[in-house]
Chain A
Amino acid sequence: MKNTPEILMVDDNPADIDLTSEVLAQSEGHFHVNAVNDGVEAISFLRRQGKYAKAPVPDLVVLDLNLPRKDGCEVLSNIKADPSLAKIPVVIFTTSQASSDISRSYKLGANCYLKKPGNLPEFVAVVQSMAEFWLGFASLPQREKR
């Protein structure tokens, strides 16, 4: 049987984590959402350091750009520079529409850039489409054995 897809959501706004988890819980697929609130935690989680020693290897990282301690772009470049993490798809999920943020993210190796919609129906549609595409239609690399 196929493992439940693991999502790592990196966002300092608990309201967005709750809402995203809610939407995913209501959707057809089964996902497991792991959430951390800043960039340093995100890297610890991915490298299974400290309290994250037993953390699952995520199939998808959903990353906000504006984060405390270590911002999203730094987290992104850390992921893409680490051979054991580089193949995990990273979806940038942020309020920024600045074209500089968009092109910088893709240059750093982001796999997708989504703007957080300002109202519920669109938010639901975006999160559901994202999960459906990345964890449904897209073929993903095998999880790294560690």
Chain B
Amino acid sequence: MTFSSDPRGSSLAADDTVEWDAPVMRAETGPCESESHRECDHQGNLGSRLKLRALVVEDEPADVELALRALRLADLKVTADVAQTAAEFSEMIRKNSYDVVLADYKLPGWNGMESVEILRREELDVPVILVSGALGELTAVECIKQGAADYILKDNLARLPESVRRAMREKKLREEHKQSREELARSNRDLEQFAYVASHDLQEPLRMVATYTQLLAERYRGKLDSDADKYIHYAVDGALRMQKLVQDLLAFSRVGRHSLALEHIDGNVALQEALKNLEAAIQESGAIVEQAQLPVLVADCSQLAQVFQNLIGNAIKFRGSEPPLIRVSAELMGKEWILSVADNGIGIAPEHADSVFVVFRRLHTRAEYPGNGIGLSICKKIIEQHGGRIWVESEVGHGSTFRFALPSKQTSKQ
């Protein structure tokens, strides 16, 4: 319904200078376009002459008038629509774009908190300020918990303008945060696409360089001078190493190019797959892998196997003087499973605990330990795509324990 005391019919104008578009037109502009944001200065502060459009959920016309007057007195330019029933409310929020909802709590047939629920269902981010008679502390706190932006007593309307301003500021921050998250995600996707295309397309010319420098080495060894042999050897070596790097980069950028096959899987199955792939390394090193019973996890089985394989493979590779002893275990902590791969290897200095997960980051020369520093970065990417996290606890000379946390229920993206 519309409030009948408004001489212009459909909306209540607290300031006659305000010119609103027709409601239909406004419905076409997204919530981000609302007038209040155009009033922001470049620091993102809301100007004192804030224009806003409110939806007042109230069955008492006098109370609507009082609330709007309070805002007008505080220099807020408000236009307002009024909804009395849940159906009217739903229709109006779909049709129009509002900056704020001012809702009475007790209404005939429903209560103001239901408006919070309706907005959430419609996926609309409009702050709801309860403007109500005394509710009692418990109810008030519960309303805030359920998502109301604030709670104002009808006999303390002087607080309303600041509450509205704060709700506007918070909403603006949420939108900015969301926007920067989206921008970040987009630029990450672009980067990954670039890495994929670059590594894919580099392979072919590299293959030519590698095979033909090798052919030169084979055919002309000892026929040129000794410098030539050495130079050709450098070229072959460089080409082969670059090939491995490009392949690793491609493997890294492939992770997550296809959506994860998330399902309930037996963690032991993933572990067994990893151990099977590591069979030769385990035998050759004399490694002992102690396996605790692993739980059912929500994960992509082959990706999880890849994580186990990289972690256990590292435990074998970076072994100390003793034969590798590796313990794989799991523990439920709150809503997460924490899986651990602990070894008795050479360990990692605490200052490198984060950098080991960075792509192509290595702590040793290739002569000491081969590899390009891709394994842990792949683990990190996989675990993060599962909505989890991975870290290491270690001390030089005292082994390392890699742990990763996976949500115990299906909450991760994709």
Given A118-B243, A119-B240, A119-B243, CB of A95 within 8 Å of CB of B218? no
Cα distance A22–B218 when bound, in Å?
13
Chain A residue at smallest Cβ distance from B207: A118
Judge if B204 is at the interface, Cβ distance under 8 Å.
Answer: yes
User: Can you name 20 A-B residue pairings with CB atoms under 8 Å?
Assistant: A13-B208, A15-B208, A15-B211, A19-B212, A19-B215, A95-B204, A95-B207, A116-B207, A118-B203, A118-B206, A118-B207, A118-B210, A118-B211, A118-B243, A119-B210, A119-B211, A119-B240, A120-B211, A120-B215, A121-B214
Judge if A123 is at the interface, Cβ distance under 8 Å.
Answer: yes
Chain A residue at smallest Cβ distance from B211: A120
Nearest-neighbour CB distance to chain B for A75, whole angstroms, equals 20
Cα distance A116–B208 when bound, in Å?
11
Cα distance A22–B219 when bound, in Å?
12
Central interface residue in B203, B207, B208, B211, by most chain A CB within 10 Å: B211
Nearest-neighbour CB distance to chain A for B54, whole angstroms, equals 56
Chain A residue at smallest Cβ distance from B217: A120
Q: How many residues on the B side are at the interface (Cβ–Cβ under 8 A)?
A: 13
Cα distance A121–B214 when bound, in Å?
8
Known contacts A22-B215, A118-B211, then 8 further A-B pairs from the complex at CB < 8 Å, ordered by chain A residue: A15-B212, A118-B206, A118-B243, A119-B240, A120-B211, A120-B214, A120-B218, A123-B211
Cα distance A66–B295 when bound, in Å?
46
Cα distance A120–B235 when bound, in Å?
14
Name the B residues within 8 Å of A121 (CB-CB): 214
Which of B163-215 touch A at CB < 8 Å?
203-204, 206-208, 210-212, 214-215
Name the A residues within 8 Å of B212 (CB-CB): 15, 19
By Cβ-Cβ distance, the 10 closest A-B pairs, closest first, are: A120-B214, A118-B207, A120-B211, A119-B210, A15-B208, A118-B243, A123-B211, A95-B204, A120-B215, A118-B210
Cα distance A121–B217 when bound, in Å?
12
A-B contact count (CB 8 A): 30
Cα distance A91–B203 when bound, in Å?
22
Name the A residues within 8 Å of B207 (CB-CB): 95, 116, 118
Nearest-neighbour CB distance to chain A for B394, whole angstroms, equals 35
Cα distance A87–B206 when bound, in Å?
35
Name the B residues within 8 Å of A22 (CB-CB): 215
Chain B residue at smallest Cβ distance from A95: B204
Which of A1-28 touch B at CB < 8 Å?
13, 15, 19, 22
Cα distance A116–B243 when bound, in Å?
14
Name the A residues within 8 Å of B243 (CB-CB): 118-119
Cα distance A117–B66 when bound, in Å?
80
Cα distance A91–B62 when bound, in Å?
86
Nearest-neighbour CB distance to chain B for A115, whole angstroms, equals 11
Given A19-B215, A95-B203, CB of A120 within 8 Å of CB of B208? no
Chain A residue at smallest Cβ distance from B212: A15
Chain A residue at smallest Cβ distance from B210: A119
Name the B residues within 8 Å of A119 (CB-CB): 210-211, 214, 240, 243
Cα distance A116–B203 when bound, in Å?
11
Nearest-neighbour CB distance to chain A for B219, whole angstroms, equals 9
Cα distance A62–B120 when bound, in Å?
61
Nearest-neighbour CB distance to chain A for B204, whole angstroms, equals 6
Nearest-neighbour CB distance to chain B for A124, whole angstroms, equals 9
Which of B218-269 touch A at CB < 8 Å?
218, 240, 243
Nearest-neighbour CB distance to chain A for B25, whole angstroms, equals 48
Name the A residues within 8 Å of B240 (CB-CB): 119
Cα distance A22–B211 when bound, in Å?
12
Cα distance A118–B176 when bound, in Å?
48
Name the A residues within 8 Å of B214 (CB-CB): 119-121
Chain B residue at smallest Cβ distance from A119: B210
Name the B residues within 8 Å of A15 (CB-CB): 208, 211-212
Which of B267-283 touch A at CB < 8 Å?
none
Which of A116-141 touch B at CB < 8 Å?
116, 118-121, 123
Central interface residue in A22, A116, A119, A123, by most chain B CB within 10 Å: A119
Name the B residues within 8 Å of A116 (CB-CB): 207
Cα distance A119–B243 when bound, in Å?
9
